[in-house]
Amino acid sequence: NSRWCLTGLTALVTGGTRGIGHAIVEELAELGARVHTCSRNEAELSCCLQEWASKGFTVTGSVCDASSSSQRQQLLDKASSLFDGKLNILINNVGTNIRKPTIEYTIEEYSMIMATNLESAFHLGQLAYPLLKASGVGSIVFISSVAGLVHVGSGSIYGASKGAMNQFTKNLACEWAKDNIRCNCVAPWYIRTSLVEHLLENKEFLDKIISQTPLRRPGEPKEVSSLVAFLCMPASSYITGQIISVDGGMTVHGFS
């Protein structure tokens, strides 16, 4: 049933070599999409590309630092030439964090987090727009965080970058609906990836996470990629402008 697959569609996924991005690349490719991805580490990228080729997936990749404007332009040029000037799916997944009290951040740290998390998503959206429009049916998914919805103690700059991303999703959804481009946002709580594994290794910290989470565990990357894939399918064709949490119930957990 073509409503529930991605056969014939093209996708660009940023940050696909580890964690949530890696799971998204695999999920989209398994469902039939042709995927282009990127990361900053050439060796890790080629290792992933080999692994995907051996699984029979159609995945290509380029080295790109998504926080650099010129490298973002090069990434889109590459995707455009690979996919004949058309793109169905853009996944803005790259993101990073520095955790510390607000008064301890330097202006350089502010700029680095904002450039990686927000500016990259904004600019890649701009650059991908003509390709998404040309394809006739487009879907953008932003990987945000519950930290953009509620205070979770992961740092105020990270929270601000994700909160802005949530609103940007709504603006784009309305602005680009006329071009048949849907825009949605996925907001995860703790997911076991290289970004947070060191935190989850601390038993006290993990117990605190579990106590705030009705499903009583952190999530797995596959539990995020399944929603992302759904948001790119024809089956979700009337869903746009939404921020959907993948959080084991954390954001609806009041006092108990």
Residues designated as active site:
158
Q: Using the minimum distance from each CB to ligand NDP, give the nearer residue, 95 or 135.
A: 95
* 50 vs 237 by CB, closer to ligand NDP: 50
CB nearer to ligand NDP: pick between 115 and 131:
115
Residues interacting with ligand NDP, by CB under 6 A? 14-21, 38-41, 44, 64-67, 93-96, 116, 143, 145, 188, 190-191, 193-196
CB of 152 to ligand NDP, least distance (A): 9
Q: What's the chain's length in residues?
A: 256
The SS3 call for residue 245 is strand
8 A C-beta contact, residue 92 and residue 142: yes
For the chain, report the end-to-end CA distance as a whole number of angstroms: 43
> By C-beta, is 18 or 170 nearer to ligand NDP?
18
Contact 241, 174 (CB under 8 A): yes
Residue type, 68: S
In the complex, what is the shortest distance from the CB of residue 34 to ligand NDP, in angstroms, rounded to a whole number?
19
Compare residues 135 and 141 and give the one whose CB is closer to ligand NDP.
141
Please identify which residue in the block is written with the tokens 């509620």.
Answer: 150
Cβ at position 71, least distance to ligand NDP in Å: 8
* Per-position DSSP letters for 114-179, written without gaps between them: HIIIIIHHHHHHHHHHHHHHHHSSEEEEEE--GGGTS--SS-HHHHHHHHHHHHHHHHHHHHSGGG
φ and ψ of 90, to 5 deg:
-125, 120
With b for 16 or more beta-carbon neighbours within 10 A and e for fewer, the 124-155 pattern comes to bbebbbebbbebebbbbbbbbbbbbbeebebb
Nearest to 24, CA basis, from 242, 16, 190, 219: 16
Nearest approach, Cβ of 194 to ligand NDP (angstroms)? Answer: 4
Q: Minimum distance from CB of 171 to ligand NDP (Å)?
A: 19
